[in-house]
Amino acid sequence: MGNKEALLAGAKRCLNEKGYARTTVRDLASAANVSMAAIGYHFGSREALLNTALIEANEEWGETLAKVLQVETPASASPAERFELIWRRVIESFEEHRRMWAVSMEAYSQPDLDPEVRTQLANALELARFGLANLFQGLDDGSAEARAVGTVHQALLSGAMLQWLIDPDRAPSGADLVRGLRLIATDVLT
């Protein structure tokens, strides 16, 4: 493993153990067993390294999500039943990645993100929208419709995850999401 790969692996460990804000350059270098200068050489900054590691961790969760969604739903299931079943599985997957989600929220809430880091995160978010549209609805064409669907799923995912992090016992279930969407759609679309 080269220095760059060691830094990414060490950054993931630091994020998991210390969080985003409390991880120092020294922590990262120590976790990777490299010099502090290697961070600047390979990534440019502590924040860029941490964000790259965080994005990779989110991509790994995306792979987990894809596996969760590959489980067959009953052929007789209605679209609402399928939606509820999929979201139940997604919410159940939060526990396995709890720390990554908490660190993600911490990182995204940093008030003074470097513009380059903000761009990096915004690009990852845009890719996630299209990935969610593909995973949930099978839309993989990069269209405006796929982006719209992915945006709604991203909002549901972020909101459900935040509520689950704060209060897992009262966070929304798949059934809650279906009921809420049905009520909103009835009000908005009629």
The per-residue pLDDT for range 66-91, each reduced to its tens digit, is 777 776 778 898 889 988 988 998 89
In a domain, 20, yes or no: no
In a domain, 4, yes or no: no
- Domain with residue 116: its CATH number is 1.10.357
Please tell me the distance from the alpha carbon of residue 166 to that of residue 123, in angstroms, as a whole number: 27
In a domain, 149, yes or no: yes
In a domain, 72, yes or no: yes
Number of structural domains in the chain? 1
In a domain, 43, yes or no: no
Specify the pTM: 0.79
Range of the domain at 119: 52-189
- Reported as half-sphere exposure (CB side, CA atoms, 13 A), residue 124 has a value of 18
DSSP 97: G
In a domain, 150, yes or no: yes
The per-residue pLDDT for range 173-187, each reduced to its tens digit, is 999 999 999 999 999
